[in-house]
Amino acid sequence: MGIKLSIYFYFYADLLYKDYNFDHKFSLSIPSSSGLGLTATGLKKDQFFSGDINTLYKSGNVIVDVKVDTYSNVSTKVTLNDVFRCKKVALSFNIPDHKSGKVSDLALPIYDSVDACFIS
């Protein structure tokens, strides 16, 4: 009788907890009509926590995207649309890694595109 009850217990426990997620997720998004948006996300899995904060600013033809993660890495991307006729310029860099940086000049016609990368 005792063996039969334990088998039923494991069967029902498996049904109850099989698809249950024990991780904790957090997400907060604050949009604004002025063009500034803020998003914070976090995930706790077991004893580890990771998260990031994103800000996005849009004004006219300028878009600035800044992301900070759990390890204090700051990545920034600045995009200028229509600087010249049919041109898009993007600048991206990471703050802790001073050797990374990328400047790209993207044109809408495919034959007129230049990508540049500098390393200091």
Specify the pLDDT at position 41. Answer: 92
Percent of the chain at pLDDT above 70?
Answer: 61
pTM over 0.75: no
pLDDT digits (tens, 9 = 90+) for 3-43: 554 555 555 656 566 666 667 888 999 988 888 999 999 98
| Token pair recorded at residue 57 | 């600013």
In angstroms, the CA 44 to CA 53 distance is: 15
Specify the pLDDT at position 54. Answer: 94
Annotated domain spans of the chain: 2-117
* Cα 27 versus chain centre, distance: 12
Higher pLDDT, 74 or 119: 74
**Residue 76's closest CA among 55, 62, 59?**
55
Specify the pLDDT at position 100. Answer: 58
Q: Cβ–Cβ contacts within 10 Å for residue 73, how many?
A: 13
Q: Cβ–Cβ contacts within 10 Å for residue 86, how many?
A: 12
Task: Give me the numbers of helices (H) and strands (E) for the chain, helices first please.
Answer: 1, 8
Confidence class of residue 99 from pLDDT cuts 50, 70 and 90?
A: low
User: DSSP for 43-79?
Assistant: EEETTEEEEEEEEEEEETTEEEEEEEETT--EEEEEE
Q: Name the least confident of 9-18, 38-47, 57-66, 82-91.
A: 9-18
Specify the pLDDT at position 39. Answer: 93
Average pLDDT of 94-99?
Answer: 65
Specify the pLDDT at position 73. Answer: 83
